[in-house]
Structure formats: C-alpha cells, structure tokens
Amino acid sequence: MTNVLITGSSSGIGLEIAHFLEGDYKVFLSSRRASKCTNHFPLDLSNAKEEDFICLIEKAKEYFNSSVDVLVNCAGQYIYKEIEKTTSEEIEYLINLNYKAPYILSKLVISDMKKNGFGRIVNIGSISSIVGEANATLYSSTKASLLGLTKALALEAAPYGITVNQISPGFVKTPLNDILSDEEKQEVIDVTPQSRFIEPIEVAQLCKYLISDSAKGITGQNINLCAGLTLGC
C-alpha cells in the first residue's frame, strides 16, 4: 500500500484529504494539535527546527515500516493585512509555515523517492499566488514561492519517476474563511463565476487523482481549483 504523509491534517482541506485517502492509502498525519492516534505526530511547522522535521519523517517511516511515498504539504495560514502593517513576527511566521516547511519536508523525503523510482508531492497553494491579492501581499508572496518550489523540484525529480504538482484553491468552505463577515462572504460569491465556495472534498478528490498512477504524466503543474475565480468577470 502506498504511504502518504499529510501536514495540516487537523481541520479543513488537510482533514478532508486524510479522510478521503484512508482505506486506499496508508496515511500518517501531522498538525499542531495533539492526537491520541498512532498515525499522528504533533508539530507546529511555523517554528520547527530541522531536527523536528527529521523526527516527523522518522516517525512516519516507523509507522509505515517503509519510506514516505507521497507528501501532501497542506499546512498553511492566511494573513489579511496591508503590507505596511505586517510585523516581523508575521513575516517570519508565514514564510516558515507556507514555504520553508514544505521545502524542508520535500528535501527530507526526496532521496527515498529517487531510490524507489517513485514519488508524489502535492503542494496546496492558493490562487493568490497566481493573481495576487491586495492586503494579502505576505500570503500571496509565500504561496508564489511555493509554486516556484513546485516547478523547480518537478524538473529536478522528473527523471526519477517523481511528480510534483500544486493545487491552488480559490475560496474554500473551511474554518480559514471564518474570519470573513457574512457581507464579505456574499462578495466572494458575487465575484465568483460559479457563485459558490469550493468544497474541501473537491480538493481531496483532485489530490487523490494527482497521486494516482493515472496522473504520472502530470508534473510541475499548478491547477487552479477556484470555481472560475481566476478567469475574471
């Protein structure tokens, strides 16, 4: 059975992906929240040191009794604030969580994937990395960095049977968007061509396809799952 490590798995998209893959894949989870599950390792990726990342990978491999075949980098956070109001702490926090953590985890699993001649890395990005978002410059730029990692690593890993892709959702019906008022949520619906939020299950279904053998020819790609939001009015 294929072994999958998912970060940010305690809520929202990560939790949905975990539920959707269980049964068909052997899944190991990581999130900030503690859990009594044997397939879970608590780790706050925003302030983790490299030895913490190494420990996470070792715990996953111990659970699998094998290597990590698939890495889903789902942990992330959103900050909505004008650029001049962002703090040094917020800058470090979002860079660490949205970009540095996926980079280090990819670095730690890639050797085994190359050795095995198989691997899948799926990064959960955002359409803000493609079109930009006013008052979310920090978020947009960290997700754009993640897309750069996706494309460059896909080229580097392609000769080894490894694919690296990014799913960039638009507004998804998750706790991350609870910060929006009812009026703001209606504004989102009004500017989205399909007049709706994306459901987390849609991201999970796409993720499952990208890690399947059917998608072995897809690598270095960014897929905007946004109900048409990137198309404009």
Residue positions annotated with a catalytic role: 139
Buried b (16+ CB within 10 A) or exposed e, 82-98: eeeeeeeeeeebbbbbb
Any idea what the Cα angle at residue 14 is, between residues 115 and 184, rounded to 5°? 140
Three-class secondary structure of residue 212 per DSSP: coil
Contact call for residues 221 and 167 (beta carbons, < 8 A): no
SS3 190: helix
Residue 201 neighbours by CB distance under 10 Å: 14
81 backbone dihedrals φ, ψ, rounded to 5°? -165, 145
Cα separation, 185 vs 131, in Å, equals 19
